[in-house]
Amino acid sequence: MAIPLEDFFEDIISKAQRGLGIETSVLVERTGLDREVIQGLRRGEFEVDTISKVAPVLGLDTQTLIASAEKSWFPIQPEVPGLHVFHSYYGDMIVNAYLMQLPEKNEAIVFDTGTDCTEILNYLRGSNIGLAAICVTHSHTDHISDLDALRTSMNNPPSYIHVKEPVHGATLIEEGWSLEAAGLRLSIQKTSGHSVAGITYLIEGMSSPIAVVGDAIFAGSMGGGMVSYAEALQNNREKILTLPDNTVLCPGHGPLTTVGQEKEHNPFYPEFKNR
C-alpha cells in the first residue's frame, strides 16, 4: 500500500512563505485577511475563500492548493516491475530508499539507504542478488545514515554522490556523469535548492523512464528550499517537469508520482496547469 502524501496545504503554504521570505504582516496586508486567519491556515484550518486569497500572493496554484486542503487528490501509483520501495523512519518521518532490478539480471542498483537498510539487505540476500551500485541523492542524514552498513554488508559496491556534497567513501560525481550497471543506464541532473547539490538520477532500461529525485520534489509538494527556494523551484521546473509525462518520479518522502501528474496537481507550479 502506498504511504500518505508527505505534505498538505499547511506545509505547502509554510514552505512557500518561508521560501519567498514573506512576513505574516505582509501576507495580511496583501490578502486583506486577519492575522489569526493566516496563522490558522498554517495550523491546517481553512476555507476555500481564504486559500483563494493566499495562493496567488505565494505564487501557488489556487485549485490544486484547495485540493490539497480537502485531501481530494492522491497520485495514481505507477506500476514498474522491478522497482522496489523500502521505508524507514527518521523520528516520525518516513524515508524512502529504492531498488531497481531487471527481472533477468541478478544485480540491482539501490538509491539512498534510509535510516535502516535491513529490509534492503534481506531482499538482496533472500533473492541472491548482487549490488552493483549505491546512488545517493543528497547527504541529509535521513537518506544516508546506513550507507556504510549497506556497503560493507554487500562487498563494497561503488557509491556515488555529488562532488559538492561529499560523504565518506563515496565516489564524487557531477553533471555529465553516466553509468551502465545492472542492465540500466543512468545519468544525472543537479537539482540543488533543498540541499547544496542534490542529484536527480535519470534511469533508462526499466519499463518506464524513471527519475529518482531525492527531496527536490514530492507528490503534490516539494522539499523545503533550505539552501535556495528560488533555485529549487527553477531546477524542478527546468530539469524535472520538462521530462516526458510518463516519467516515474521516486521522491525521498511520500508516494511515487509521475511528471504528468505533478504538472497537473502540484500547487508550486501554476504555469503547467492546463485550464
Q: How far is the CB of 94 from Fe ion (least distance, A)?
A: 13
**With binding defined as CB under 5 A, does residue 215 bind Fe ion?**
yes
Q: How far is the CB of 227 from Fe ion (least distance, A)?
A: 10
Residue 145: C-alpha distances to residues 1, 9, 90 (Å) = 25, 29, 10
**With binding defined as CB under 5 A, does residue 239 bind Fe ion?**
no
Maximum distance among all Cα pairs of the chain, rounded to whole angstroms = 62
Site string for Fe ion, 132-151 (x = CB under 5 A): --------x-----------
Evaluate whether 31 touches 115 at the Cβ level (below 8 Å): no
Q: Among positive and negative, which fits the CA dihedral 171, 212, 113, 182?
A: negative
Distance between CA atoms of residues 176 and 118, nearest Å: 32
- Choice between 132 and 199, CB closer to Fe ion: 199
492548493: which residue's cell? Answer: 65
- Choice between 61 and 112, CB closer to Fe ion: 112
Q: How far is the CB of 111 from Fe ion (least distance, A)?
A: 14
Evaluate whether 156 touches 169 at the Cβ level (below 8 Å): no
- Choice between 165 and 262, CB closer to Fe ion: 165
- Choice between 61 and 116, CB closer to Fe ion: 116
Sequence-ordered list of residues with C-beta below 8 angstroms from that of 149, at least 6 positions apart, any chain: 113, 117
Q: How far is the CB of 60 from Fe ion (least distance, A)?
A: 21
Q: How far is the CB of 201 from Fe ion (least distance, A)?
A: 15
State residue 240 phi and psi, 5-degree precision. -110, -50
Q: How far is the CB of 252 from Fe ion (least distance, A)?
A: 6
Cell of 200: 536527480
Evaluate whether 229 touches 18 at the Cβ level (below 8 Å): yes
Q: How far is the CB of 46 from Fe ion (least distance, A)?
A: 27
DSSP secondary structure string for all residues of 43-58: TT---HHHHHHHHHHT
- Choice between 165 and 215, CB closer to Fe ion: 215
- Choice between 51 and 134, CB closer to Fe ion: 134
Give the binding range for Fe ion (CB under 5 A) out of 153-161, 182-190, 215-223, 257-265. Answer: 215-223
- Choice between 225 and 260, CB closer to Fe ion: 225
Q: How far is the CB of 273 from Fe ion (least distance, A)?
A: 27
**With binding defined as CB under 5 A, does residue 190 bind Fe ion?**
no
Give every strand in the sheet of 93-100, ordered side by side.
83-90, 93-100, 107-111, 130-135, 159-162, 171-173
Interface contacts to Fe ion, rule CB under 5 A: 140, 215
